[in-house]
């Protein structure tokens, strides 16, 4: 009986400090309120000519420049992120570098100012950074870009097809063939060309991630061509996952809702819509790119090896995946 009492006291002695610590943590932790953690509308930012720069937005988007802290989850990986100069691609590039990956980013030459900031951040993380300015609507450039990445990073095992074109048009009659063609080539043809060029270099264990959109599930009336491409990207993800699974290559997607990026201020939304952008989400604000960085890391990481053909949503309560 005394032995049992002693054991009980010992257990109580262990449990009591643990319980006290939990109580202290609960009382002392400052949990971020998702409603007020980042700026809420109304916004007073100027529209920009396409493709737009994050550095000229007010407020500036948060890509994780000062907040994302890595823990070595992608040590030794070699990544190519299209559209890595700003927005969601920039957040993914920063997160990958701080998790230990070398990163190549592609972008339009007009986005050089934003790209230089990202390249500096990747290097500050102690990783190799490669800038690839060019137009991914050109198949020959897509092939050269992949080849250069493989050559300078020593291989490729992580591909993010993120670059996108979004130009709102209020009526189908306003959507020219030139506009339609530019959106299709940027969002779909380039994804096809880049992935096809990358496949011979991707080993078992590699990961491909597409940035699709809630527009694939719930299209807006004024984004007909853009929504079409995002639905196609979703199906590309699921189909390719079945094709590449037997080879040990995983393919997944991320479907954001309204995210505060240059895509919106450079013609993706009207000035009126931009002022209240994201205000109709459950959280009453748009998302910031940094809030998606950890999703890309998780889909790329080695502890997510059973996730393929999946589309992860991040839409503030409005998305469907």
Residue 59 maps to a domain = no
The DSSP symbol for 134 reads S
Q: Is residue 25 part of a domain?
A: no
Asked if residue 16 belongs to a domain, the reply is no
Catalytic residue among 68, 107, 217, 226: 226
Enter the pTM of the model.
0.90
Question: 142 lies in a domain?
Answer: yes
**Domain assignment of residue 19, yes or no:** no
Q: How many domains does the chain have?
A: 1
38 is catalytic: no
218 domain residue, yes or no:
yes
List pLDDT tens digits, range 184-234.
999 999 999 999 999 999 999 999 999 999 999 999 999 999 999 999 999
All residues at 6 or more sequence positions from 116 whose CB lies less than 8 Å from its CB, including other chains: 131
Residue with tokens 């790119």: 289
Structural domain that includes position 283: 72-314
Flag whether 44 is in a domain.
Answer: no
pLDDT digits (tens, 9 = 90+) for 243-284: 999 999 999 999 999 999 999 999 999 999 999 999 999 999
| Domain CATH code at residue 118 | 3.40.50.720
Asked if the structure places residue 31 within a domain, the reply is no
């Amino acid at each position: 009986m005394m032995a049992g009492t002693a054991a009980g006291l010992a257990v109580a002695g262990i449990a009591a400090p643990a319980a006290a610590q939990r109580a202290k943590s609960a009382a002392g932790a400052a949990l971020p309120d998702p409603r007020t953690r980042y700026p809420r509308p109304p916004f007073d930012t100027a529209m920009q000519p396409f493709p737009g720069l994050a550095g000229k937005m007010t407020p500036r988007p948060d890509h994780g420049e000062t907040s994302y802290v890595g823990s070595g989850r992608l040590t030794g990986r070699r990544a190519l992120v299209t559209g890595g100069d700003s927005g969601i691609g920039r957040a993914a590039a920063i997160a990958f570098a701080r998790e230990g990956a070398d990163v190549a980013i592609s972008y339009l030459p007009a986005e050089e100012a934003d790209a230089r900031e990202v390249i500096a951040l990747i290097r500050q993380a102690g990783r190799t950074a490669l800038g690839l300015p060019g137009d991914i609507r050109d198949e020959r450039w897509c092939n050269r870009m992949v080849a250069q990445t493989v050559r300078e990073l020593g291989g490729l095992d992580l591909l993010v097809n993120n670059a996108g074109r979004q130009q709102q048009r209020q009526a189908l009659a306003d959507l020219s063939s030139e506009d339609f063609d530019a959106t299709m080539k940027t969002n779909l043809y380039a994804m096809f060309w880049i992935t096809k060029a990358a496949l011979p270099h991707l080993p078992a264990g590699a990961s491909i991630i597409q940035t699709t959109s809630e527009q694939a599930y719930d299209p807006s009336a004024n984004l007909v061509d853009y929504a079409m491409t995002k639905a196609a990207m979703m199906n590309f993800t699921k189909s390719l996952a079945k094709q590449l699974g037997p080879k040990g290559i995983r393919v997944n997607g991320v479907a954001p809702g309204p995210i505060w990026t240059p895509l919106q201020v450079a013609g993706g939304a009207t000035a009126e819509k931009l002022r209240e952008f994201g205000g109709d989400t459950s959280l009453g604000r748009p998302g910031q790119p940094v809030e998606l960085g950890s999703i890309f890391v998780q889909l790329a990481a080695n502890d997510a090896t059973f996730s393929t053909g999946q589309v992860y949503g991040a839409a503030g309560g409005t998305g469907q995946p």
